Amino acid sequence: MSERDLAAIGRMARQWRERVDPEELPGFTARYGRRQQSRLTQDDVSRLIGFSARWYSNLERGVKTPYSDAFLDSVARVLELSGDERHTLYTYTVKRPPEPVPGVDTSIIDPALARFVHMQPHPCYVSDQGWDVPIYNDAAAKQWRWMTRGGNVMLWALTQPEARLQLIDWERSWAIPMAAQLHMARHKNPDHPRLREVVKKVNEDPDARRIYWEEGLRNVHPDGSRRRVYLPHHHDQEFEVVFLAFPLLRDPSYRLMTVVPADECEPYADVEPLRAAA
């Protein structure tokens, strides 16, 4: 690769970094404070991608380095690169195109279900047996920005550094119960290829691997759980949310999830529940 090519990708990387507004990253200002300039620094990016500052600095300085796919994909994720930009990043650094993003089976999504998801006022999405997300609404995209990039619920929550910024009390309230869900699903479906792949990737992260094996031996579900999160453009303000989970009767391996602000549930706390007739 020529020095001119390396310099070109360095300029592109700086432009990509400078267009990212830290206020769009939930939990960033709560952890690192507000910035006088609305852009990320190189150190910020290195923290968010989970690699050393030297590795990212080398990219912007055009230093020839054997970049891994994990590094390049983390840069693409944090800097919110488009498909074409991700392709350019790979081509200029490792002289080959990236692996395609895993496809998601959307056969379950009929027009009625799609309409129902999109008409919900709160974050709502469907996830499959491997926790990939074939459909989500605009509210979910605003709260869980990773969904717009074709992410996986478990991989994002258990392995990505930005999840540990957004999800308050990450290990106890989020990672432990989610690892338990994944552990049980893998036990029940040992031959499911996507579940095997997700578990493998989770075990590549040291913290997630420890939690998966030490804390993941319980059968739990998220329905009705209350957890706290940070949201974009709300600085250090904490929000409590309630998760509601529903299986789809036509195929219970899919689950419909909606996330309701806890404070909107309070007016109904004293409402007498309906009871079946004797």
* 127-154 residue pLDDT tens: 999 999 999 999 999 999 888 887 899 9
Looking at CATH, the fold of the domain delimited by 3-94 is given as 434 Repressor (Amino-terminal Domain) (1.10.260)
Q: Across-strand partners of 126? A: 135, 256
Cβ atoms of residues 170 and 164 within 8 Å: yes
At residue 34 the predicted structure's pLDDT band, cuts being 50, 70 and 90, is confident
> Which of 53-62, 177-186, 265-274 is predicted with the least confidence, judged by mean pLDDT?
265-274
Domain-by-domain residue ranges, the chain?
3-94, 111-266
**Where does 111-266 sit in CATH, by number?**
3.30.450.180
Strands (E), the chain: 124-127, 135-136, 226-229, 239-248, 251-261
This prediction has a pTM of 0.87
* 79-92 residue pLDDT tens: 999 999 999 999 99
Average pLDDT over every residue of 87-108: 84
Name the one residue in this structure whose structure tokens are 């075990």.
203
CATH topology match: 3-94 vs 111-266? no
The HSE-up count of residue 15 (CA atoms within 13 Å, CB side) is 9
* pLDDT score at 278: 46
Cβ atoms of residues 51 and 58 within 8 Å: no
Average pLDDT over every residue of 26-32: 90
